[in-house]
Amino acid sequence: MRKDDGGGGRSINLALSKRGVSALEVAGVSRDVLEFALPMRARMIHDLDGQTNRQPYHPNPQKYINSISRSGLNIVLLNAAEKYPNVHLQFGHKCKGMDLKSGTLFLENESNGHTIEVNNGPVFATDGAGSPLRDSLVAQVPGATESVDYLEYGYKELTLEALPDGNFAFAPEVLHIWPRGHFMLIALPNPDFTFTCTLFLPYEGEQSFAKLTNQASIEAFFQEFFGDLLPHKPDLVEEFLANPTGKLGTVRCKPWHYEDKLVLLGDAAHAVVPFYGQGMNASFEDCVVMNELMRDDNTAWAERFAKFSEQRIENANAIADLALYNFIEMRDYTADPVFALKRKAEVLLEEKFPEDFASKYSMVSFTNLPYRYAQLRGDLQDRILMEICGQISDLGTFDAATTLARIERESEGLAVH
């Protein structure tokens, strides 16, 4: 990674939010990472006519998400890890699975094909969404379950170059969204004044990857739906045809551990679709929770792992659901007038009552509240605010204090874990 482009074939940049930053602080590397981060303080909605509408994430400009480079982040983490004398980095070895009973891990040396057996204490499996160690767990633990649900959508990344004068092609400090009903395109800024765009599109159907196979179809599609991008993308067709189409899926499994031998963390345990920008943040939060459990020297590994599974599975399922729902919100609702009014109402409530109100987005992105709580309370708030905003045409008649009182009344007794 530190020798080649390091991108790992996946998204070039990522949205880092509060949970991720909190974890990086615990690891002592937040400054190193935030040094190359770009703030994103709002969504910028691009309609079909090229008109834009800026929707701030929060009235407090200090609450924002960060666009960070995936490879930059990985390099900071690798550099930090190898400074520990008891950390040994072993590249070029592929994990093939594990015999759980004996605790033996099987690694294949990729240069000579030899298998190495390692039996060295607890294994923390962070081998990603396609985790062979999750496969071992599900195959060998009676009653263990897993589901891997792919969306009927794929994604394709495209780079938007800087303008000839060196500036960003679109406004910086925002996450750009082109919502188009059942599909959408987003763009996150990079420090070199480029944007990384991601097109989320069905594999099949009238507007789909299946239809975008040649210059004419790609150009016509972008002309119709993303016309304001075209002048900035002279190499569109070449890049579109050259870049791979990625898969999007949700992984759920239970349990996440086996005795004191194995525990799954990150995408290996709970890959989520990327529409809340939380997969990495949730994975870093796993590390914080595990770190806390490891502070207690009197607790055995098996007990730590059991507590970890218990605490995290419910929250991982919540962010998986929130992320799936946010896709619908981003592609369908961000352009809807009632939704836009509701966003304004949320911002007003957050401005007037910063201690008592946080939108669902804020709870997920700007706090460390459990995801499950953010989901329950957020759903309740959304229902109430959509109902009120459906009955008014602007915020002139919006009664913030009465609305907050209703939200608090109806959310009394909401379970927090």
Contact residues: ligand FAD, CB under 6 A: 10-11, 14-15, 94-95, 126-128, 132, 155, 198, 246, 266-268, 274, 277-281, 283
Q: Which is nearer to ligand FAD, 155 or 178 (CB)?
A: 155
**Rg of the chain's alpha carbons, rounded to an integer?**
23
Characterize the bridge pairing of strands 13-16 and 246-254: unpaired
Cα(255)–Cα(104) distance, integer angstroms:
19
For ligand FAD, which is the closer residue by CB, 151 or 338?
A: 151
Q: CB–CB of 198/181 below 8 Å?
A: no
Report, in Å, the least distance between residue 6 CB and ligand FAD: 10
Measured from the CB atom, the residue of 11 and 69 that comes closer to ligand FAD is 11
CA 63, distance to chain mean position in Å, is: 17
- How far apart are alpha carbons 16 and 273 in whole angstroms? 15
Cβ proximity to ligand FAD, 98 vs 345, nearer residue: 98
**Smallest separation (angstroms) from ligand FAD to the CB of 12:** 9
Q: Give me the least distance between CB of 263 and ligand FAD, in Å please.
A: 13
Minimal distance, residue 59 CB to ligand FAD, in Å: 23
Residue 43: beta bridge partners? 55, 175
For residue 249, the minimal CB distance to ligand FAD (Å) is 9
| Between 274 and 378, CB nearer to ligand FAD | 274
Minimum CB distance to ligand FAD smaller for 341 or for 369: 369
* Closer to ligand FAD by Cβ: residue 266 or 378: 266
Q: Both tokens of residue 382?
A: 């959304």
Listed in sequence order, the residues at least 6 apart from 396 whose beta carbon sits closer than 8 Å to its beta carbon are: none
Q: Which is nearer to ligand FAD, 153 or 221 (CB)?
A: 153
We find the least distance from the C-beta atom of residue 289 to ligand FAD, in angstroms, to be 14
Give per-residue burial for 16-55: e unless 16+ CB within 10 Å, then b: bbbbbbbbbeebebbebbeeebbbbbbbbbbeeeeeeeeb
Smallest distance, Å, CB 132 to ligand FAD? Answer: 5
- Taking the least distance from each CB to ligand FAD, the nearer of 11 and 403 is 11
- 337 Cβ contact list (under 8 Å, min separation 6): none
Q: How far is CA 62 from CA 17, 41, 42, 56, in A?
A: 12, 8, 12, 11
- 334-337 CB contacts, 8 Å cutoff, 24+ apart: 334/43, 334/45, 334/55, 334/177, 334/179, 335/45, 335/47, 335/179
Closest approach, Cβ 125 to ligand FAD, in A, equals: 9
CA distance 338 to 392: 9
